Every structure is written in C-alpha cells, then in structure tokens.
Amino acid sequence: YRLEPFIFRYAQFERHAGKKVLEVGCGVGTDLVQFARAGADVVGIDLSSRSASLARTGLQVHGCQGQVAIADAENLPFKNSQFDLVYSWGVLHHTPDPEKAIREIHRVSRPGAEFCVMLYHRHSLVALQLYIVFALLSLRPFRRLQDLVANHHESTGTKAYTKREAKSLFSLFEDLRIETLLTPYDLRVGKNRFFPQWAHRLIPRSFGWFMVIQGRKA
C-alpha cells in the first residue's frame, strides 16, 4: 500500500461488509484480508498453490474467516450468481484468455453485483519507456506496443489495453466506469527508485499505467 495507496479508494473495503466477495487472483491475500477485516464474506482464488497457502495463513494470522482455493480465473469453480462483488487487481492481463475470465466473472456475479478490475493501460508512460528501450534504442522502431508489453514486461504474454478495448471486454456489464491513474511505476528511475510524488502533478492521469474498470451486472 506504500506504492499503491489508491487501492483503498477503488476497493472500498468497508462498503462491502456483509457481502459475499470473490477476489480473482488473490496472491498472498493482502486485499482479501482487508475485505475480511471489514466484515465481508470472502473467497479468494489463485493459480499458485504457494500464494493460496500464504493467503490462508494471512487470514488466520489476522483472525479472519474466509476461503481460499487453487483455481483458474478462466474456469471458476463456482455456481452461477454467487457473489455481490468480484475484485481483481492486476491479474487478468496475465491470463491467456482474459475474455473468458471476464465471462466467468459475469457468470458467478449475482444480478446487481459490482466488479472492480485493474488492467494495464497501453497508452501509458510505462509502455513509452518500453518503446524507447526495446524499439527505438534497439533500432526496431516499428515494434507494436502490445508486442513490447508481452515480451518485455513481467511475465511473457502480459497484455495492456486501451480504454476502448476495455469497454469492449466488459460489454456484458453496465454502468461502466473506466479510469486511468498514475502510479510510482510510471515515473520509475531504475529498478527500485522513483520520482518524488510531486512530479506526478506534472503528468496527465490519462498516461497512467493502471486502468481501473468498474461496473455492475444487470
């Protein structure tokens, strides 16, 4: 949360007290614990058995109730219309078939349920940095941004989307709100060094690397 304090603004943990919340790609359970501590009935899934084990331990350490399963976002092991909120922060752009994962989110959501998903934004400073290093400086100026993200950022096959593409991805839902935001990663200097926070005021949020999509199931 030191690098991503804005998560609280979008997750709104306290607002989901008493509701059934699914986190797709819960990792070690950092956000899952926040939902549980706020009073939500939480279920987390992750493809990594190690992450799932750590998430369960985290719930126990914080005295929270919840379930964590090893599962694939593209084949959620739940019946239709189970959850009041589906939350996924920085996960679906790593799945081979994000469209299928989003259809699964829609399937397991109850009518009127909300979702909050963060995906990477293609028209961003991070993508520009990749273009400068791996296209211009490599004398390959015609490489596509999507190719650069897929081959030079995090895991192979990582995806990044435009706002228009995100709107199409979530077309099954209504009341869509799509927002880009600047992060420390947009103004990184080296692996673990960042520009000071005041520098963010000089850059439009429209160039941010994180794109948060929210809406609800009809």
Residue 191 has pLDDT above 80, yes or no: no
pLDDT above 90 covers a percentage of the chain that reads: 88
Q: Where are the beta strands (DSSP E) in 16-139?
A: 20-24, 41-46, 67-70, 83-89, 109-120
The alpha carbon of 108 is separated from its chain's Cα centroid by a whole number of angstroms, namely 18
8-state DSSP, 121: B
Task: Quote the pLDDT of residue 184.
Answer: 84
Residue 195 has pLDDT above 80, yes or no: no
Q: Determine if the pTM surpasses 0.75.
A: yes
SS3 118: strand
Task: Quote the pLDDT of residue 201.
Answer: 75
The stretch 21-36 carries a mean pLDDT of 98
- Predicted confidence band at 54 (pLDDT cuts at 50, 70, 90)? very high
Least confident of 137-146, 152-161, 183-192: 183-192
